[in-house]
Amino acid sequence: MVGAFMEELELLLKQVYGTSLDPNLSQDIIQKIEQSKAGFPRYQAWSEQDVILITYGDSVLSNELMPIQSLHQFLREYLSGLVSSVHILPFFPFSSDDGFSVIDYYQVNYSLGDWTDVAKLNQDFELMFDLVMNHCSRQSLWFNDFVNGSGEGQDYFVESDPTLDYSAVTRPRTSPLIVDVYTRQGLKHVWATFSDDQIDLNFANPKVLLAFVDIFLFYLKHGARFIRLDAVAFVWKILGTNCIHLPQTHAIVKLLRWVMEQLDPNMVLITETNVPHQENISYFGEGDEAHMVYQFALPPLLLHALNRGNGHYLTAWARDLVALPKGCNYFNFVASHDGIGVRAVEQIIPKHEIADLAESVHNFGGFVSMKSNGDGTQNPYELNISLFDALQGTRTGSDQWQVERFLCSQKLLLSLQGIPGIYIHSLTATENDQSLVEQTGRTRSINRHRWDRQDFEKLLAQEHSSQALVFQRYRDLLALRKTIAAFHPEAAQRVYDCGDALFVLQRGDAPRTADDGAKRNGLLAVFNLTKYPQQVEHYAQLPQAYQAECEDLLSDEKVILAEYKLKPYQVLWLVPD
C-alpha cells in the first residue's frame, strides 16, 4: 500500500517540481501521513444538514469568559442543531489583517483562548480552519530566521531584484509588491503581495511545502473537517508571468486534496480565490483539486440585483453555471469578514453599473477598496459595508423594506446548489461599525463588529430592533431548510428566466407523484427582487407539477403561480400540494 501511495504522490510532486524533485520529499510526506492516521473522527458525507457559520473567535464577547468560550456558549444556546459547522477565522497569533498575517501556525492566540477551547467547540460543531499559505507575518520566527540568515526559515521567502519589470504580476492591492528588508547580510528585497507585513513564502523551496503539509495535518488532527486555502492563487511566482493560477499552484492544491483523502474522503478542501468566475472554478480541476470553491460571483450579483430590482445578470450567470465534477460543489456565501469583492463579476456586470453599485455603497455608509492595474490605473476591488446596511435601500435611496430585502438575500443563499456559509453578522443583522473603522484605520473593520452578548440580547428583546426582526426568523429558516431533501448539495439545479424582476430556481427533480412532493425531493424557489408586487412571467415553461396548486413551505399558503402575485421581496419555496 505504501508503494502505491508513493507512486501517486511522486506523480503529484513532479507536477510541482518537475525533474528537480527531491526523492526524499515523497517519503517525508508519506511518513507524516502515516503518523497522523490514528485517532481521526469519521465524518458523514455532506447533505442538506450542512450549514457553515463564519465568525471570528471574538465576534461574541461575555464577561469572565475567554472569547472562544463565549462564542461556544452563544452558538450552543442559539444555533445548536441549526448550523452544523463553524468556520473560526484565523485564531492564531498575528500581527495585522485581523489574523491573516500569521506569526505562529501552531498556537491559538492567547487573547482568544487555547486548543482546549477549540476542542470543546468541536464537541458540538464541526470546524473549518484557514491555512494561510501565500504569506506569513514579518514577525514570525521564520522571517526572523531570514533576517538573521540562519535557522529553519532562512530560505523560506521570495527574494527579488527591484529593478526588474513586475508589471505583468496580478495585484490584489495598491501597496508595493517588493519591500525592503534589512538583514544581517545587508539590504534585501522580498515579495509582499498583500502588505509589507505579509511576506510571501517561497514554495519553489520543497521545505516550505513540507512545512505546510505538516501544518495541514496538524489542523486536521485538531478537529478541522474543512480547510480553507486562503489566497492560494498567488503561491507560485515566475517573473514574466501574471503569477496567479500557475500550473504549480493547481498541482499544490491537488496534492493537499490527495493528502486529505488518505485520512477521510469526507473531509473538505476549499479554495478562496477572489477572481473572475471562470478562473475561480478552475480550482475544481478535473474533480481532483478543491472539493469546494468560494462562489465569489454570488455576493456582488445578488447585491446588484436587489439594488436595481433587476435580476437579469444574476439569472444569466446562474443559468450558465457548468455541471460540477463528481465530488465537487460550491461554497455559497453572500457576506463574509471581507467586503463584497467585485473582481468575480468584471466580465458579467458592465463597468458603469458596478460604479453605480459602488456609489450606493458610499451612500449607505460604506467604502470602496481599489486594486492596481499594470498600466497604473485602478479599479474597484471590494465593497466594504455590512450586508444588512448595503440592503437598506436601492439605487434610489433608503426605504422601509430593509428587513424583507435582506431576508430575501438570505433565502436565496439557502436555496442554491452547494453548502451555504452564513456570516455571523448576517444572522445578527449587524450594522456598519464606523467606530471600529476609526479605531483600526481599516475599511474592512466596518463589517467586523464585536458583539457584547448582553447588548445583543437586550436588542433581541426589543420588538422592533433589527436583531429581533431578523434573528428568530433566520433561525426558523434554518430549521425548515434541514427538512427539505431538495437542498442536498448535490441535488440538481435549474434556473428559469421568468422576467427580470424575479429569480426562479428549481432544486431537485420535479415531483411526479404526490408522495414525491411529500418527501420534498423537488422544490421551486421564486424570489421577488423588487419593492413592488410581481407576477411570474412565462410560467408555462415551468414543470407541470409547479403549474398546478402548490404549497409554499415558507408561509403554508396554497399557491397557483398563474394567479399569484408576490409581495415585495417575498420568497416562495413551492412543493406540489
Question: Do the annotations mark residue 97 as ligand-binding?
Answer: yes
Helices (H), ranges, 37-166: 67-78, 115-124, 141-148
Question: Do the annotations mark residue 135 as ligand-binding?
Answer: yes
Cα dihedral 383, 385, 387, 391 sign? negative
Q: Which three cell numbers stand for residue 346?
A: 468584471
Distances (CA, A) of 255 to 229, 261, 267, 289: 13, 10, 14, 8
Contacts for 130 with CB less than 8 Å, ≥ 6 apart: 89, 90, 99, 100, 227, 228, 230
Helices (H), ranges, 158-246: 206-221
Question: Do the annotations mark residue 165 as ligand-binding?
Answer: no
- For residue 543, the SS3 value is coil
Question: Do the annotations mark residue 230 as ligand-binding?
Answer: yes
Q: State the first-to-last Cα distance of the chain, in angstroms, to the nearest integer.
A: 54
Residue located via cell numbers 481599489? 370
Measure the CA–CA gap between 321 and 324, rounded to whole angstroms: 9
The residue count of the chain comes to 577
Measure the CA–CA gap between 107 and 434, rounded to whole angstroms: 31
Query: Tell me, what amino acid is at 432?
Result: N
Among residues 124, 107, 7, 20, which one has the least CA distance to residue 69?
124
Measure the CA–CA gap between 119 and 135, rounded to whole angstroms: 27
Residue located via cell numbers 494561510? 132
Question: Do the annotations mark residue 229 as ligand-binding?
Answer: yes
Residues 421, 431, 89: CA angle, nearest 5 degrees: 40
Question: Do the annotations mark residue 65 as ligand-binding?
Answer: no
Write out the H or E segment, with its range, that includes residue 190: strand 186-191
Question: Do the annotations mark residue 338 as ligand-binding?
Answer: yes
> Which residues are 383's β-sheet partners?
340, 368
Contacts for 90 with CB less than 8 Å, ≥ 6 apart: 98, 99, 100, 102, 130, 132, 230
Question: Do the annotations mark residue 337 as ligand-binding?
Answer: yes
Return the axis-axis angle of helices 466-481 and 453-460, rounded to nearest 10°: 90
Which residues carry out catalysis? 230
Helices (H), ranges, 165-311: 206-221, 247-261, 277-281, 298-308
**476: Cα separation from own chain's centroid:** 23
Q: Binding site for substrate: residue ranges?
A: 97, 135, 228-230, 337-338, 444
Q: Binding site: residue ranges?
A: 97, 135, 228-230, 337-338, 444
